[in-house]
């Protein structure tokens, strides 16, 4: 089983993480929202009262974009400046990331979008997740003895689900956007055609994925130079991808699912014994779903429903945490971390049992997200002792009736808000580029329970609800989320991170609401994570040794590992927008105007 490469931290970002906890605790009573501006000079400066803040978010009066790659963020901001709305900008960012963040941005993968439409006041969830091909079957990755065939669900042509990104982006643009597809695709086409400079982060990722990409001639032709992966400072030009994007700009999603691109994907599959066919591509459909809605301390939380497990378990954990004085106990105190970890364990145990594609299995969403169910769960939490994961089984919610990914957030002055998380699964997905297209194929089939009870690439254990079936969507942890205050978008948040997405997004919400942090502080703060199995409390550097000792005394197995998640966060109030890109990825950038 292959682990994802560690993220690269700058010395500055690491230093910020190490000092933020005591700083955040010292400002527990400080006011988050900015004071009204009284003159033009204040409008040009930081709008909020910064007297108690050391870390300051980016400010914009008219709109804001936050993504994991500065070039893509600039693309989105330019669309807003040209009069586009948040949906126009989000689609432009999505296609731009397919060019400048090739390890996670994509048109050969899929994902989820949560949006608030100001005109109608409606909250919408768009499911453009990949779908298992018609020839897919429950035991397709097992040998004759019933054992998992190493790598088959990750690095072969059988690893790819039918991509949904192009269909999802077109769907959102046609229904809520104001610009034509050709217009929002222009920047991505230019970046692919003319190229861009490879950053330190991308160069390191290419180096770490050398063996995966190096197996395929079409992949090497793009990402290698003189037999080695491109290095920092090299120019990455993607002529075939530019051609594919031009076809999509001219013909729409039809080019990808029925036209020239579809034909090339089907040919690639056929020549390597893959399961995906032209008929699978033609049959792909975007699904518009009702978001998961929760209430946390008076804030409305709008998030993604199944086949994402993210929204269900975000709400489930928040419902449990509402029982505890989070603010009073302090940021990353032993009490707070203990209560978070115990709540996380219970939610992830439920995830293993109940979550899957709602079109194939009955999921007790109402029960899992109900406060009455949370009331029962918290009764099992001991304030002074960690519960062994082996003693935790999935609960019974029915009587109360869900790692290389990327996230981007957009808000506009009209009141529209968009949260998008999409993925190829692992870095560069399967590593396979479809000959003549420049398109990397996902390896999302590994997100199914390849064999129920056996962990996937992220260590997540799944059950029969997420077993492989033809035309089924695999379970995900992606958690694009909008938090509403007084029925208006107040916070847009989301993150990559595989199994850690749910807990990463959780802490961004808790830090802004309970600890009254501004967006910069909220995402610099060190994070913790527990996913039931393995039975370990994972923490980032920066958690106090005294706190770790207290947690160990409660029975937690505390392990310090690589940074988790890369939040892209935007917050709004009457004066404008405040945002920040997670310093755990130095390529990320937030821009407003």
Report the alpha-carbon distance of residue 498 to residue 177 in Å, rounded: 29
Q: Which helix (H) or strand (E) holds 329?
A: helix 326-329
Report the alpha-carbon distance of residue 389 to residue 157 in Å, rounded: 36
CA 283 to chain centre: 26
The SS3 assignment for 246 reads: helix
Q: CB-based burial of residue 30 (10 Å sphere; 0-12 exposed, 13-18 middle, 19+ buried)?
A: middle
Report the alpha-carbon distance of residue 300 to residue 304 in Å, rounded: 13
Residue 341 near residue 335, CB atoms below 8 Å: no
Q: CB-based burial of residue 188 (10 Å sphere; 0-12 exposed, 13-18 middle, 19+ buried)?
A: buried
Q: What is the 3-state secondary structure (H, E, C) of 378-418?
A: HCCCECCECCCHHHCCCCCCHHHCCCEEEEEEEEECCCCEE
Q: CB-based burial of residue 227 (10 Å sphere; 0-12 exposed, 13-18 middle, 19+ buried)?
A: exposed
Question: Which residue, chain included where needed, has tokens 């998961």?
Answer: 292
Residue 153 near residue 443, CB atoms below 8 Å: yes
75: cis peptide before it, omega within 30°? no
Report the alpha-carbon distance of residue 377 to residue 196 in Å, rounded: 51
Report the alpha-carbon distance of residue 465 to residue 409 in Å, rounded: 31
In the numeric block, which tokens belong to residue 378?
């918290």
The SS3 assignment for 476 reads: strand
In the numeric block, which tokens belong to residue 171?
């769907």
Catalytic residue flag (residue 504): no
Taking phi first (over 0 means left), then psi (-120 to 50 degrees means alpha), and beta for anything else, what does residue 476 get? beta
φ, ψ dihedrals at 277, nearest 5°: -125, 170
The SS3 assignment for 559 reads: strand
For residue 289, CA distances in Å to 183, 316, 356, 417 come to 27, 19, 15, 17
Query: Which residues, 6 or more positions from 181, have their beta carbon under 8 angstroms from its beta carbon?
Result: 91, 170, 173, 248, 249, 252
Report the alpha-carbon distance of residue 33 to residue 485 in Å, rounded: 12
Catalytic residue among 405, 406, 481, 493: 405
The SS3 assignment for 490 reads: strand
Q: Which helix (H) or strand (E) holds 583?
A: none
| 310-321 helix and 371-378 helix, angle to the nearest 10 degrees | 60
Closest C-alpha to 260, from 275, 269, 247, 250:
247
Taking phi first (over 0 means left), then psi (-120 to 50 degrees means alpha), and beta for anything else, what does residue 297 get? left
Closest C-alpha to 406, from 99, 62, 89:
99
Active site residues: 405
């Amino acid at each position: 089983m292959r682990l994802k490469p560690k993220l690269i931290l700058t010395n500055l970002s690491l230093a910020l993480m190490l000092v933020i906890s005591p700083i955040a605790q010292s400002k527990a009573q400080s006011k988050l929202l900015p004071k009204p501006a009284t003159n033009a000079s204040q409008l040009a400066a930081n709008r909020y009262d910064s007297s108690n803040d050391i870390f300051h978010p980016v400010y914009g009066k008219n709109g804001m974009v936050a993504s994991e790659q500065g070039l893509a963020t600039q693309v989105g901001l330019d669309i807003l400046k040209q009069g586009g709305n948040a949906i126009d900008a989000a689609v432009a960012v999505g296609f731009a990331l397919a060019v400048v963040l090739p390890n996670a941005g994509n048109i050969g993968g899929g994902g989820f979008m949560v949006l608030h439409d100001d005109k109608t006041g409606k909250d919408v969830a768009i499911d453009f997740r990949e779908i298992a091909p018609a020839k897919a079957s429950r035991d397709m990755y097992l040998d004759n003895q019933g054992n998992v065939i190493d790598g088959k669900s990750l690095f072969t042509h059988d690893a790819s689900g039918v991509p949904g990104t192009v269909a999802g982006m077109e769907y959102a643009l046609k229904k809520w956007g104001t610009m034509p597809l050709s217009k929002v695709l222009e920047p991505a086409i230019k970046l692919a055609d003319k190229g861009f400079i490879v950053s330190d982060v991308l160069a390191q990722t290419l180096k770490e994925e050398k063996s995966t990409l190096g197996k395929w001639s079409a992949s090497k032709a793009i990402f290698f130079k003189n037999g080695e992966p491109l290095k920092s400072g090299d120019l990455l030009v993607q002529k075939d991808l530019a051609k594919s994007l031009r076809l999509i700009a001219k013909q729409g999603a039809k080019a990808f699912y029925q036209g020239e691109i579809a034909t090339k994907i089907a040919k690639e599959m056929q020549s390597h014994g893959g399961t995906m066919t032209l008929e699978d591509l033609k049959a792909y459909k975007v699904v518009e779903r009702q978001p998961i809605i929760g209430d946390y301390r008076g804030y409305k939380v709008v998030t993604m429903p199944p086949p994402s497990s993210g929204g269900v378990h975000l709400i489930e954990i928040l419902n449990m945490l509402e029982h505890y004085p989070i603010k009073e106990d302090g940021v990353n105190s032993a009490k707070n971390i203990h209560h978070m970890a115990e709540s996380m364990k219970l939610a992830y145990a439920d995830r293993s049992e109940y979550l899957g594609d709602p079109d194939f299995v009955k999921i007790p969403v109402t029960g899992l997200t109900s406060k009455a169910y949370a009331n029962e769960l918290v009764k099992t939490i001991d304030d002074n002792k960690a519960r062994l994961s082996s003693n935790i089984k999935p609960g019974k919610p029915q009587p109360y009736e869900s790692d290389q990914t990327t996230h981007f957030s957009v808000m506009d002055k009209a009141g529209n808000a968009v949260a998008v998380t999409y993925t190829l699964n692992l870095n560069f997905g399967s590593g396979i580029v479809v000959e003549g297209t420049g398109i990397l194929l996902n390896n999302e089939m590994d997100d199914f329970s390849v064999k129920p009870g056996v962990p996937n690439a992220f260590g997540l254990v799944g059950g029969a609800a997420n077993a492989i079936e033809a035309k089924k969507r695999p379970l995900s942890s992606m958690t694009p989320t909008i938090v509403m205050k007084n029925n208006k978008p107040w916070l847009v948040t989301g993150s990559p991170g595989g199994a850690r997405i749910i807990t990463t997004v959780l802490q961004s919400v808790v830090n802004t609401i309970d600890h009254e942090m501004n967006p910069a502080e909220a995402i610099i703060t060190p994070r913790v994570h527990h996913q039931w199995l393995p039975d370990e409390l994972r923490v980032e550097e920066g958690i106090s040794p005294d706190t770790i000792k207290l947690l160990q005394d409660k029975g937690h197995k505390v392990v310090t590992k690589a940074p988790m998640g890369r939040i892209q966060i935007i917050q709004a109030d009457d004066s404008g927008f405040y945002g920040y890109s997670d310093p755990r990825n130095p390529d990320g950038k937030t821009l407003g105007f």
